[in-house]
Amino acid sequence: MKSLSIALCLLVTGSIFAQETPKTEENKSSEKTNELKEVTIYGNKKQHLKVESDKTTINVRDNAMLNSGSSLEAVKKIPGVITSPTGTITLNSKGVTIYIDGAPSSLSGTDLQNYLSTLPANAIEKVELIYNPGASFDADASGSIINIVTSTKRKKGLNASFNINYNFNKYQKPSPQILLNGKVKDLSWQTMLGYNYIDSESNNRNDQTFTSFSPEENLYQKNLAKFTNRNLYFRTGTNYKLNEKSNLLFNYNLNLGNDRIVNESSTTGTGIDFSNNGHSKMKNSVNELSLQYRTKLDTLGRTFDITAYSNFFNRNPNTISTGQNNGESTFFNGKIDFNLANYYLKYDFSIPFNKFNFSINTGGKFNYIKVEDKGIYNLNTASNSVVDFDYDETNLAFYVEARKKIKKFNFTAGLRFEDYKVDRIAIQEGDETKVNFKNTNFFPNVSAMYEINENMNLSASYSKKIQQADYNVLDPNNFANFDQYNTSQGNPFLDPTFFDNFELKLNAFQFVSLGGNYTIAKDINRFIINAEPGELVSNQTFQQFDKTKTLSFFASFPVPLDYFFKSKEEFKKRMNNMDNMNYIFFNVNYIKATTEGYDFSFKNKPIWNYSAQAQFILPWGIKNSMSYFILPKGTWEIYQITKPIQQFDISFNKEFMNKNLKIGLHCFDVFNTNEINALVSSTNLETKFYQKPDTRTFRISLTYNFGDLSLKKENTEINIEKNQSGGGFMK
């Protein structure tokens, strides 16, 4: 701890050195001008990360550690982002809502993760981590938002980029892609076409104790799943400059998937010897369209932004399996037809009063989601078992948010009105379950920031949020396992969860963040594995718990190695370009969760998470990037981590041909240590869970840029706040 304190002190000293510029009248004028521009991680300094009071911005496009592979891989490597044992993503212990270009994704669960796995990381300009979102964001954001901002830079003429990631371990995983963009007069455009062919596998084991029996019964289950994911994606967008103040943006994204899963499983216990072989084929498609109009209304800074967005998603998994249960033949067939449609319309209006250091933002939103899912199943019988699920959600919202600066204080207060109407109907074996939910509520948020000096600020915030139970946790057709001893289904009776979020944070020098948050969640939903009394069948589902209180602390800070090993002048020079700096960036999280309405069979212990990212500039212009994380033993939500989860990645990147050709060599999970060992305790069942995906992967990445690269870059983007932007590939 003492050494870390010394490093932080040296960092502060180094930052002061880097910013020692005499303040002439010209400099003062320049600073005033910069203050009026949109907050961005670019400018005179080329930075990979910028910490602000309300968000942290990560540069992905120019970050060799993040810009190869998929968007999901990039997000998981970001400081403060933790992937839970159940696969969900959290940010500083709080739940996450994924936004893409300012619009919330209508997909959830594995559908969302699969979609992010097909979105290439090199299509991302930056990622914004919004820790405690205000009234301008949907109330249906449990605690924090990760906004993925896709590429915005355009050049005159025609430009192209060819990229291929060749991944391999025991499987081959090629991913070629071509990107075209350009600008003709007032029209800029961009088109991306790519294909992924990914083979992978996951080895799972469950050691289960059924406690309702006397004596207790035990089942030992093994499953080896081999995945083949093939998808073709096409993303295009245009940005038309109507006049000096207005832009019109149109985007269309298409994703076509053709996936296959092959399973080999077995179950053994007292008098039980069961084996099963199955395969599942699934075709899926995503169609997204968005239209956005953005304008400056006058020279005073008033802006208006309106966005229309629609998303259509379908998947059709078809599963066939056969097995032997103590010598008797068994079989299971399952066929699902899933369709989702989402229509989204919002507007945002910003009114600044610069004379009084005061501004008002207001806006509204209408959102409609419809899900239809029909499953037909045969478990050891020719008779069909039919499950129908319908989900309709209508959401109307309006908000107002005011900002005021008084000397060194910045205050924000907002209020969001949300009207929800959610209808769910589940029909199983002729039995109808109908749940109608209506909620009209106000969701306030307040925050205050004190500017300690030019480089440090202290902020505190509160927000009230809601999280609707999405189709992924409600749908009874949501199955992953189905045989004599395993079922998996959603729970259509789940209620929405309400959150009270409190946060206190200290930011320094655009890189250092130290703080804590406290969240009270009422009627929270958790993944659980339970069993009915007297039955040797485990059921994977979701269960509601009365209340969860989560206390967490976090710290993020860099150690600039060049301060110790380079001259003062060289260090000051490299501070202006992170691409040429040697550094290590540390992130530490402490999380303690208390769940009411749940009896732990183990001691509830707080859990820590440690991560580090490093960059080293080697001879011959080779850039070495490394990242490491470890989630030690402890209690994560309601799950006991019995063995640390950890991973170490390393990359080497080199640029050629005047930076037009980039080649990278990467190894992920070098020591093959990323596996999950957890204990899940529930009604009548205790499960020791083990999962080992094939995370150790080697990658060769190649990017070649060609076209009219010498022509001047232009950007027709209207500079308005990013939290008012929305929907689509182009900005």
What single DSSP character describes residue 137? S
N residues, the chain = 731
Task: Answer with the residue of higher pLDDT: 120 or 42.
Answer: 120
Ordered alpha helix ranges (H), 488-600: 561-565, 568-574
Which of 192-208 are b and which e, b meaning 16 or more Cβ less than 10 Å from the residue's Cβ? bebebbbbbbeebebeb
Mean pLDDT along residues 64-89: 80
- Looking up tokens 């969760």, which residue turns up? 593
Please state, in angstroms and as integers, the Cα–Cα distance from residue 78 to each residue in 66, 195, 564, 604, 679, following that order. Answer: 8, 25, 26, 27, 27
Share of the chain above pLDDT 70, in %: 88
Q: Is 533 exposed, middle or buried (0-12, 13-18, 19+ CB in 10 A)?
A: exposed
Q: How confident is the model at residue 272 (pLDDT cuts 50, 70, 90)?
A: very high
DSSP-assigned letters across all residues of 437-479: EEEEEEEEEEEEEEEEETTEEEEEEEEEEEE---HHHH-TT--
Residue 520 CB burial class (10 angstroms; 0-12, 13-18, ≥19):
middle
Reported confidence tier of residue 67, pLDDT bands at 50, 70, 90: confident
> Residue 28: its pLDDT value, please?
40
Name the DSSP letter for residue 185.
T
* Alpha carbons 291 and 358: distance in angstroms, whole number: 30
Q: Which two tokens stand for residue 590?
A: 């402490």
Q: What is the pLDDT of residue 157?
A: 65
DSSP 495: P
Apex 448 CA angle, 443 and 449, nearest 5: 145
How far apart CA 605 and CA 603 sit, in angstroms, is: 6
Say how many C-beta atoms besides its own lie within 10 A of residue 553's C-beta. Answer: 18
Pairwise CA distance, residues 720 & 294, whole Å: 9
d(CA 432, CA 422): 17
pLDDT at 514: 94
Segment 509-513 shows an average pLDDT of 84
3-state secondary structure 33-72: HHHCCCCCCCCCCECCEEECCCEEEEECCCCCCCCCCEHH
Rounded-to-integer distance, Cα 96 and Cα 82, Å? 10
Residue 156 has pLDDT above 70, yes or no: no
- Range picked from 32-41, 68-77, 492-501, 570-579 for highest mean pLDDT: 492-501
Burial of residue 436, with CB atoms counted within 10 A of its CB: 0-12 exposed, 13-18 middle, 19 or more buried: exposed
* Range with the poorest average pLDDT among 156-165, 221-230, 357-366: 156-165
pLDDT of residue 460: 95
User: Which among 396, 380, 377 has a CA at the least distance from the CA of 388?
Assistant: 377
- Reply yes or no on whether the pLDDT at 35 is more than 70: no
CA distance 175 to 123: 14
Closest CA to 610 of 651, 549, 553, 563: 553
Max intra-chain CA distance, the chain: 89
> CA dist 156 to 387, 569, 713, Å?
54, 37, 7
With contact defined as beta carbons under 8 Å apart, do 473 and 494 qualify?
yes
CA 639 to chain centre: 21
* pTM assigned to the model: 0.84
Q: Would you state the pLDDT for residue 29?
A: 39
**From CA 428, how far away is CA 489, in angstroms rounded?**
12
pLDDT over threshold 70, residue 321: yes
Residues 634, 607 contacting (CB under 8 angstroms) = yes
- 3-state class percentages of the chain: helix first, strand second, coil last, to nearest 5: 10, 65, 25
Contact, 545 vs 536, CB < 8 A? no
pLDDT at position 354: 85
Phi, psi torsion values for 706, nearest 5 degrees: -150, 165
DSSP secondary structure string, 390-422? EEEEEEEEEEEEEEEEETTEEEEEEEEEEEEEE
Return the number of other C-beta atoms located less than 10 Å from residue 693's C-beta.
16
DSSP for residue 7: H
Which 8-state DSSP code applies to residue 619? G
Q: What was the pLDDT predicted at 480? A: 59
- What pLDDT is stored for residue 708 in this prediction? 62
pLDDT at 481: 60
Do the beta carbons of residue 530 and residue 682 sit within 8 Å?
yes
Q: Would you give the distance in Å from CA 280 to the centre of its chain?
A: 27
Q: Does residue 200 contact residue 224 with C-beta atoms inside 8 Å?
A: no
Instruction: Indicate whether 728 pLDDT > 90.
Output: no
DSSP 369-381: EEEEEEEEEEESS
Check residue 57 and give its pLDDT.
84
8 Å CB contact between 563 and 14? yes
DSSP-derived secondary structure letter, 250: E
- Nearest-angstrom CA–CA distance, 671 and 119: 27
Question: Which residue type sits at 29?
Answer: S
Of 92-101, 494-503, 676-685, the one with minimum mean pLDDT is 92-101
Spatial CA neighbour of 286 closest among 250, 259, 255? 255
**Neighbour-count burial of 212, counting CB atoms closer than 10 A to its CB (0-12 exposed, 13-18 middle, 19+ buried):** middle
The secondary structure element, H or E, covering residue 180 is strand 172-184
- Assign 730 a pLDDT band (cuts: 50, 70, 90): very low
Residue 108 CA to residue 470 CA, distance in Å, equals 7
**The predicted structure's pLDDT at residue 706:** 81
Work out the percent of the chain whose per-residue pLDDT is above 90. Answer: 50
Tell me the per-residue pLDDT of 437-457, one tens digit each, with 9 for 90 and over: 898 999 999 999 999 998 899
DSSP 90-118: EETTEEEEEEETTEE-S--HHHHHHHHHH
Question: Token digits for 716?
Answer: 């027709």
SS3 8: helix
Average pLDDT, the chain: 84
- What pLDDT sits at residue 656? 92
Enter the tokens of residue 23: 């303040």
What's the N-to-C CA distance of the chain in angstroms? 44
SS3 702: strand
pLDDT in tens, 536-574: 999 989 999 999 999 999 999 989 888 888 877 777 777
Could you report the per-residue pLDDT of 599-631, keeping only the tens digit for each?
Answer: 778 888 999 999 999 999 999 989 999 999 999
